[in-house]
Amino acid sequence: MARHRSPAPRGDDDTGPHGGVPTALAIVHPGLEDLLLDELVALGVDARPSEGGIAFAATPEALAQVHAWSWIAGEVRVRLGRARASSLDELATGVRALPWSRYVHPHQPVEVEISSHGSRLRRGPAVERKVALAIGDALRGPRIAGGRAPREPVRVHVRVVDDRATLSIDASGDRLHRRGWRTDAARAPLRENLAAAVLVAAGWKPGERLVDPMCGSGTFPIEAARRAAGLPPRTGWTHAFERWPGHDPKPLKKALSRRPAAVPTPILGADRDARALTASTANARRAGVDKGMTLLQAALAELDPPASTGLLVANPPYGKRVAPAADIERTWSAYGRVIAERWLGWRVAVVAPDPRLLGRIHPEMRVVLRFVHGGIPVVVGRLDSR
Ligand SMILES: C[S@@+](CC[C@H](N)C(=O)[O-])C[C@H]1O[C@@H](n2cnc3c(N)ncnc32)[C@H](O)[C@@H]1O
């Protein structure tokens, strides 16, 4: 991205609580922070860049809004506080002092994940057990009445740097890219939140025609169709914060009831592979948007462009996993020729494993996004309509 916003300086204590409200951190793949920040601000959340993600005050309303409507966030954690951690005992003392009863039910299982830099306390079962036991100790005090402990574990993250630990609790439950509809995956599917970010970086908005000629499991068309229909990113989902003791369901209900208006948007997904079509069709049905798009089996070279232009978005095989590497430059040059000859007037966005391959699509493709996908660093190129 052209812009770069620096994270808050280290001295700026994001750990919270601020005025009694702890700080939440929305986490996303490195490279997508600016897009996530813009998205959260547009959602009315008072968000700002912070180390490791985008920070905001973890009010029930903001947590509800982000979980209901963020397409790009990968997960959200609430920072509970800091503890000195020059020894295991010191860490346990600090952990016991944090307000666990707001987030964990007595007897609820706790999963502890440690990361450690420059500390004697290393990631491993000894530290995890000590932290889990300290949380159990903290929960022996007065309780918030009502309810039995959920069976789902609470995930606690401990980040130890030198002799200080920062403790956060997972608010999302599962990774937010899991939307609930993609159970049929074609080969090398793109994570749903990455696909959503690519659409934003490509300048796509509901109302603009969209074609993905290599749709695989249908991620781009389905993400676009749900947005165009005013549907939230996820379906059938219980977030971790909904299980917190004393959780009030009203803010989330209210956030979900404020749906954007549906915007009629022609969406077409195609793939030359019959299995990809089976997968994308089943996924679109599960996502409730199969009537909002056309899916068909065709190779790029055979696909007739619709009469009016829009965005052509594609995540072609990288060669590393899906096609033989030796052929890849030739293959991408062939895609470029088809696009130049048949898709005149279209804006084009392509996910590629390196900028050279983008040049095979068109020499004027400019890189608008970089991130790591399935362990492979990728770039997103954009070519505005010619
Ligand atoms: C990396 S996968 C796309 C994954 C997709 N974005 C997803 O999230 O599931 C690439 C897809 O391109 C398809 N493909 C490869 N060459 C093609 C061509 N010439 N025409 C149409 N589809 C093609 C493959 O069948 C495969 O499904």
CA angle 55, 57, 58 (to 5 degrees): 105
Question: Closest by alpha carbon to 195, among 29, 59, 10?
Answer: 29
Q: What residue ranges define each of the domains in the chain, with the CATH number in brackets?
A: 23-170 (3.30.2130.30), 192-383 (3.40.50.150)
User: Is the confidence at residue 10, as pLDDT, over 80?
Assistant: no
CA 1, CA 3: separation in Å to the nearest integer?
6
Cβ-contact 38, 44 below 8 angstroms? no
Ligand 1 mutation target, pool 272, 296, 318, 373, most atoms within 8 A of CB: 272
For ligand 1, atom 5, name the residue with the nearest CA. Answer: 216
CB atoms within 10 A of CB 320: 13
**What's the confidence (pLDDT) of residue 270?**
98
**What's the confidence (pLDDT) of residue 55?**
98
Helices of type H across the chain:
33-42, 60-69, 88-96, 125-138, 192-201, 219-228, 250-257, 274-286, 328-342, 355-361
**What's the confidence (pLDDT) of residue 9?**
34
Q: pLDDT, tens digit, for every residue of 213-264?
A: 999 999 999 999 999 999 999 987 899 999 999 899 999 999 999 999 999 9
Q: How far is CA 348 from CA 37, 95, 264, 276, in A?
A: 24, 51, 21, 22
Mean pLDDT of the chain: 90
User: Is the confidence at residue 324, as pLDDT, over 80?
Assistant: no
Task: Write the DSSP string, 225-258.
Answer: HHHHTT--S--S---GGGGSTT--SHHHHHHHHS
**Centre of ligand 1 from the C-alpha of residue 92, in Å:** 50
Question: Which atom of ligand 1 has the smallest separation from the CA of 316?
Answer: 10
**Centre of ligand 1 from the C-alpha of residue 214, in Å:** 4
For 183-200, what is the mean pLDDT?
87
**What's the confidence (pLDDT) of residue 374?**
77
Question: Which atom of ligand 1 has the smallest separation from the CA of 322?
Answer: 1
**Centre of ligand 1 from the C-alpha of residue 217, in Å:** 9
**What's the confidence (pLDDT) of residue 13?**
43
Q: pLDDT, tens digit, for every residue of 124-138?
A: 888 899 999 999 999
Which residues lie with the beta carbon below 6 Å from any ligand 1 atom? 186-190, 213-214, 216-217, 219, 271-273, 276, 299-300, 315-317, 322
Question: What is the signed CA dihedral for 54, 59, 62, 63, rounded to 10 degrees?
Answer: 80
**What's the confidence (pLDDT) of residue 19?**
65
Cβ-contact 157, 75 below 8 angstroms? no
For 113-122, what is the mean pLDDT?
87
**Centre of ligand 1 from the C-alpha of residue 267, in Å:** 16
Cβ-contact 346, 386 below 8 angstroms? no
Q: pLDDT, tens digit, for every residue of 284-308?
A: 999 999 998 999 999 999 999 999 9
User: HSE on the CB side for 59, CA within 13 Å?
Assistant: 12
Considering 110-124, 185-199, 330-344, the range whose residues carry the highest mean pLDDT is: 330-344
**Centre of ligand 1 from the C-alpha of residue 271, in Å:** 6
